Amino acid sequence: MVSMLPKELPFTVFVPSRDSFGRVLGLQRSNASAGAEGDNNTYAVLSRMLGFSVVPRRLLAVDVPPRLPLDSVSELQIHASRDTRRALVVNGLRSECVNAVRGETVVHVIAGVLMDAKFERCFALKSDS
């Protein structure tokens, strides 16, 4: 997912954990890597998720402003805070790993998937059928 971003521009990405890909989106690791190789459905899902998960600036966990919303590139409001154990929490999702740096991009792995209500309904409908 992060490989879809240009390396020379500053971004912060809140990436779903491996378990979240499978649990929430129904994507397995082989499907996720297939997205880069041309599987149109997987690529479309990853692209859409990326829009919700990327903030167009570089923020380490200590730099994330508490209580101030961040706007993702798709204009989803992201609310970050710290829990009682000082872990980064993003829209109610606890971080599993923070501050992985790749070029100008900072990656924070979270225990869930950031998405708007419309996109979430698409996955709720799939799991109901």
pLDDT in tens, 47-92: 898 999 999 999 999 998 877 899 999 999 999 998 888 899 999 9
Confidence check: pLDDT of 128 > 60 = no
Domain residue limits, the chain = 2-128
Q: Which residue has the higher pLDDT, 26 or 103?
A: 103
pLDDT in tens, 28-44: 544 444 444 446 777 88
Residue 12: count other Cβ atoms within 10 Å of its Cβ.
24
pTM of the predicted protein model = 0.82
Round the average pLDDT of the chain to a whole number and report it.
Answer: 84
pLDDT of residue 129: 53
Helices (H), the chain: 18-20, 29-37, 40-53, 117-128
Name the CATH topology of 2-128.
FAS1 domain (2.30.180)
